[in-house]
Structure 1
Amino acid sequence: MLSVYDGFFSGGARIVHSDVVLGLMEGGQHHRVLSIHGEVHREATRQRMEDDACYRSLTAAGAGVTSLGRVQGGGRIPATFNGPELAETARAMAGADVILSLKEQPLALLNQAGLPRRPVVVCLHRSDPENQGSSLADLKAAVADGTVAACVCCAESTRAAYEAAGIPSDLLHVIPNGVDLLRFRPDPARRLALRTDLGIDHPAPVVVYAARYDAMKNVPLFLRAAAAWLRRTPNGHVLMCGAGMTAANSELDADIRAALGHRHDRRRLHLLGVRRDMETVYAGADVVALTSTWGEAAPLCLIEGMMCGAVPVTTDVGDSAAIVAGRGIVTAPHPEVIARAWTTAVVDRAAYAPALAASRELFSRTRMIASYAALIDRLHAGSARPALQEPH
């Protein structure tokens, strides 16, 4: 198996995909990963491949991870590749039976003429195909020439959006996201450790927001809701995690000043940046919040937070409403409405606990990986079809 990434940087899709690769390796498959970019500059953060938690997990497990060495400054992947890049890609593809493309962006590379023919599974993790630059056109081209054998959609909203955009329905397979239930679980010791580390009183209510700094996440809306909630909750704390969620991000600083000004409440807003211990962050929280406006499909933060006992409060985007149904609260995209929902979630947290506990099997990593393995096995069994042979 070969997985192709556009790059290693903080985000739910890379976390899920890397976990799938690790799970398939645990089941006996051999995997390699090829990254188009070796370094990415985005969300006001320089993200080197070797520093990334997913890269470290994959290499520690024995997956070979290589890069074409490009540096991305936040733009789209260029449609042209040089000879050495194509030769490296051809070598990586030649040793694979099936190729997994992490989202559609790597198809700009995989569509290049002269590369080995292999069945490609495109793993889709968003619900806005029209908002991905040239990637939708690259996907349609790969479908038209028979390169794409299947598309894995992480959510029903993803399947519906790509079908509406013209991708044949028989290629679209929904495999919902799952998480490691041994890692993501309620844990009083982790809860106490996080609060002690941040100087938060044990009974104080805590809202966590785990997202990269991106327009689709609607960070200004979240901060206006945080300002309203902190104003009416004198002992409350808000944690912001993810790429760009640091004081070094001037755009975030401007958003915070616009929402909170110079009020003392800012001392209860904690900017944590990229964390490698999200199971501890979620265990220490009472609410996991999402305020995205578009693009989301099956937000990993909601699932991880719920499995650690935090009540999800989200805007209605992608499959979010279905994910939190009976387990949390869906709100209108209005700061005061969101702030009141956070308060309700904190007060009713114990009442939500049974539903959160009962949903653990539904969001299991084991279920997710078994579904990926079954699909890959079916594709591999049929990969000797003439259309998928090496070109003469």
Structure 2
Amino acid sequence: MNELRVLSIYEGFFSGGARILHSDVVRGLSGGAQRHAVLSIEGEMHREATRQPMTEDACYRALTAAGVPVSALRDRFGGEGREDAREVGRKAGRKGGHGSGADVFSRAELAATARATAAADVLLSLKEQPLALLNQAGLPYRPVVVCLHRSDPENQGPALDALRAAVAAGRVRACVCCAESTRAAYVAAGIPAELMHIIPNGVDLLRFRPDAVRRAAMRSSLGIAADAPVTVFAARYAAMKNVPLFLRAARIHLGRDPGAHVLMCGAGMTADNAELTADITAAFGDAPGLLRRLSLLGVRHDMETVYAAADVVSLTSSSGEAAPLCLIEGMMCGAVPVATDVGDCADLVAGHGFLTPAQAEPIAAAWSRAAALAADFAPALARSRERFSQTRMVTAYGALIERVHQDAVRAVRPARRRTRTRAGVPYGA
């Protein structure tokens, strides 16, 4: 039996839960009955105050180390002018416009895409943004599975229109929704319900688990006492994450508990991010001494260690979230989740932690309560591990990809028979 050839299309490589999760799926499936490859539209990204070449990204390195071929259409942005054109296009897209710089492809780029897609049986689009490329005329038809990871399609600019166009053209044969909130939001936006398949997010349970040694080592490296309550915030610096709200809650929490510590991880969570620095000044301007117990850790590749050191994992997002990976990873390491009511957070947190209104005081109070009750939540967190298994998730993705391929093959065979009858000669002669 021939291997099923699967090509994933990424907008680009940068730190974020969707890329981490999708890369885990690709690595988990590649090498068995399926052979996977990745095509990134951009070879370099500029996000969260960071310019990052593809080859420096942790997901890129993990994929290539596992033997998964990864290529890019564009080596670089091509200069600030091109980047600025794309930003203008994105802003226009948010107002219902089209034609962002990122949606303009050269003949060479389209030819490279045609070669790459022709060598695949099924295409996976990581979120809807790459569909601007796959919708271009002249590309070989291949069934597309779109992997959706947000609950706010209306905030995705022209990407939602690209998804609608791909569905109307018959290219999209399935959509993977990581959460019920994702499915509901996209159905409400006009995507047919019969295309939607919910595959909940999962993580590597061998990696993400309570670990006393990691906990002690991480706390020691940061000068945090063994019994100090620690809250971790793992997110990229973006408006949807509502970092100012998190910092206002941190100001209350650290001022109330002289032993508490707060850790902030993710792209843009560093002192050289001017916007973050301004947010910190706004929240802690009256008490700068408290900042000794707030650590900016930036992008970490040992999040299992960071989470193991924490008592609480918090999320203060105002929009966009579906099934946040940070909450799942943190819970699997023993941290009690505290989150605002966005996406499927209420379902994830139920029985494991606390859901809060988007207000600093209730959030800070929930952190204190969660840290105090961490031992009480431990049995529930342990019982939920199978629910969040990466093995379960990867198996479900593999089965859906196979089903989409088989459906496409069955759809082609009758057409071939009709062609043979009309032409009077064998198909392909």
Structure 1 residues 81-92: aligned runs within 5 Å: 81-92=105-116
Question: For residue 44 of structure 2, what is the aligned residue in structure 1?
Answer: 39
8 Å contact kept, 1:118–1:389? no
Question: For residue 130 of structure 2, what is the aligned residue in structure 1?
Answer: 106
Q: Work out the CA distance in 2 between the residues paired with 1:321 and 1:338.
A: 15
Question: Higher RCO, 1 or 2 (CA under 8 Å, sep at least 6)?
Answer: 1
Q: Work out the CA distance in 1 between the residues paired with 2:30 and 2:265.
A: 29
* Alpha-carbon displacement from aligned partner over 1:306-347 (angstroms, at most 9, x marks no partner): 000000000000000101110010001110100000000000
- Deviation of 1:80 after TM superposition, in Å, equals 1.7
8 Å contact kept, 1:118–1:388? no
Q: Work out the CA distance in 1 between the residues paired with 2:314 and 2:283.
A: 17
Question: For residue 141 of structure 1, what is the aligned residue in structure 2?
Answer: 165
- Deviation of 1:144 after TM superposition, in Å, equals 0.2
- Deviation of 1:197 after TM superposition, in Å, equals 1.0
Question: For residue 56 of structure 1, what is the aligned residue in structure 2?
Answer: 61
Question: For residue 30 of structure 1, what is the aligned residue in structure 2?
Answer: 35
Q: Work out the CA distance in 2 between the residues paired with 1:233 and 1:46.
A: 37
Question: For residue 18 of structure 1, what is the aligned residue in structure 2?
Answer: 23
Give, as a single letter, the amino acid of the residue that structure 2 aligns with 1:324: V
* Alpha-carbon displacement from aligned partner over 1:227-267 (angstroms, at most 9, x marks no partner): 00000110111000000000000000000000011521001
286, 298, 307: which one aligns with 1:273? 298
Structure 1 residues 247-262: aligned runs within 5 Å: 247-261=271-285, 262=287
Structure 1 SS opposite 2:366: helix
Q: Work out the CA distance in 2 between the residues paired with 1:99 and 1:256.
A: 43
The question of 1:321 aligning with 2:346 is answered: yes
- Deviation of 1:28 after TM superposition, in Å, equals 3.7
- Deviation of 1:79 after TM superposition, in Å, equals 2.3
Question: For residue 335 of structure 2, what is the aligned residue in structure 1?
Answer: 310
Question: For residue 193 of structure 1, what is the aligned residue in structure 2?
Answer: 217
- Deviation of 1:388 after TM superposition, in Å, equals 12
- Deviation of 1:389 after TM superposition, in Å, equals 8.9
Give, as a single letter, the amino acid of the residue that structure 2 aligns with 1:373: G
Question: For residue 257 of structure 2, what is the aligned residue in structure 1?
Answer: 233
Question: For residue 9 of structure 2, what is the aligned residue in structure 1?
Answer: 4
Change in 2 beyond 3 A, CA 1:163/1:388: farther
Structure 2 SS opposite 1:149: strand
The question of 1:214 aligning with 2:238 is answered: yes
TM-score in terms of structure 2 length: 0.89
Structure 1 residues 131-170: aligned runs within 5 Å: 131-170=155-194
Question: For residue 148 of structure 2, what is the aligned residue in structure 1?
Answer: 124
What percentage of residue pairs aligned between the two structures are identical?
A: 68
Structure 2 unmatched runs, 5+: 1-5, 78-82, 91-99, 417-427
Q: Work out the CA distance in 2 between the residues paired with 1:35 and 1:388.
A: 34
Q: Work out the CA distance in 1 between the residues paired with 2:265 and 2:378.
A: 24
Change in 2 beyond 3 A, CA 1:232/1:138: same
Give, as a single letter, the amino acid of the residue that structure 1 aligns with 2:335: A
Question: For residue 358 of structure 1, what is the aligned residue in structure 2?
Answer: 383
Q: Work out the CA distance in 2 between the residues paired with 1:202 and 1:110.
A: 52
Q: Work out the CA distance in 2 between the residues paired with 1:22 and 1:389.
A: 35
TM-score in terms of structure 1 length: 0.97
- Deviation of 1:199 after TM superposition, in Å, equals 1.1
* Alpha-carbon displacement from aligned partner over 1:80-122 (angstroms, at most 9, x marks no partner): 2001101111111011100000000000000000001000000
Larger Rg: 2
Give, as a single letter, the amino acid of the residue that structure 2 aligns with 1:386: V
Q: Work out the CA distance in 2 between the residues paired with 1:146 and 1:90.
A: 18
Question: For residue 322 of structure 2, what is the aligned residue in structure 1?
Answer: 297
- Deviation of 1:48 after TM superposition, in Å, equals 1.4
8 Å contact kept, 1:245–1:272? yes
Change in 2 beyond 3 A, CA 1:66/1:231: same
Q: Work out the CA distance in 1 between the residues paired with 2:225 and 2:315.
A: 24
Change in 2 beyond 3 A, CA 1:333/1:214: same
- Deviation of 1:386 after TM superposition, in Å, equals 3.4
Q: Work out the CA distance in 1 between the residues paired with 2:106 and 2:225.
A: 56
Q: Work out the CA distance in 2 between the residues paired with 1:103 and 1:370.
A: 20
Let me know the Cα RMSD of the aligned residues: 1.6
Q: Work out the CA distance in 2 between the residues paired with 1:178 and 1:210.
A: 17
Q: Work out the CA distance in 2 between the residues paired with 1:26 and 1:204.
A: 45
- Deviation of 1:381 after TM superposition, in Å, equals 1.1
Q: Work out the CA distance in 1 between the residues paired with 2:374 and 2:173.
A: 44
80, 86, 89: which one aligns with 2:104? 80
